[in-house]
Amino acid sequence: MSDITACDAHGYFDAETCPACGATGTHVLDGSTRQRVSKFLSGALRHFPDDAGLDLDDAGWTSLNTIVDRASEKYGIDREAVIGIIQTDPKGRFEVDDDRVRAAYGHSITVDLDAGGTPVPDTLYHGTSPDALASIRESGLKPMNRQYVHLSDSVGDAHDVGSRHAADPVILRIDAAAMQADAHTITKRGRAVYTTAHVPPAYLSQIE
């Protein structure tokens, strides 16, 4: 993972220079620590808030000051570094609203993520293991150990997700337009992730 740098004019970035103005900026955090803290934040906000000493509300929000304190205690970093990690997360896994923060998606604990009304592409994708294909064709895509089914807006992203489960993943095409027409809710979470409660088999096809 790349280092985080701050541009006085355009905020945090993780490239060699600021994408907006080309400034070299001020170094905030090294890539190795960024990766460790990012995993901690993701886990604490999605899966084990009690273990991390966090109090999440029904929608998954917790105090930004508290999450900064927990990360500082564990990794010795400051508020600027935590904000930099949140704002530069490549998958948009975190949302900040004034003085509170939450994970945008991926929870195994029960939270009520409000529908944001963001337009959804007509077609979405999902990568999975070939071993799971027979079950999916019979029962559709289910959340399994998560709260929602996760879908991607590109074949490439779906392949990356599927590669976590198989060396040669199967890519499924989801007719999102038809799902929404039939009153199935699909919600955008983060930059390129969409969630839904269940994708019935009728809306699925395999990309060969």
Kindly report the three-state secondary structure assignment for every residue of 146-160.
Answer: CCCEEEECCHHHHHH
Q: Do domains 4-103 and 123-207 have the same CATH topology?
A: no
- Residue holding tokens 């280092």? 3
Mean pLDDT of the chain: 91
Under CATH, what is the fold of the domain 4-103? Arc Repressor Mutant, subunit A (1.10.10)
> 114 pLDDT band (50/70/90 cuts)?
low
The rounded percent of the chain whose pLDDT value lies above 90 is 71
DSSP E strands in the chain: the ranges are 4-7, 11-13, 26-29, 62-63, 94-97, 100-103, 123-128, 149-152, 170-175, 187-189, 193-196, 204-207
Rounded to an integer, the average pLDDT of 49-59 is: 92
Rounded to an integer, the average pLDDT of 156-160 is: 92
What tokens were used for 114? 């409000």
Under CATH, what is the fold of the domain 123-207? ADP-ribosylation fold (3.20.170)
Rounded to an integer, the average pLDDT of 192-208 is: 92
> 165 pLDDT band (50/70/90 cuts)?
confident
Q: Look at the chain and count its residues.
A: 208
What tokens were used for 45? 């906000």
Domain residue spans of the chain: 4-103, 123-207
Rounded to an integer, the average pLDDT of 35-62 is: 94
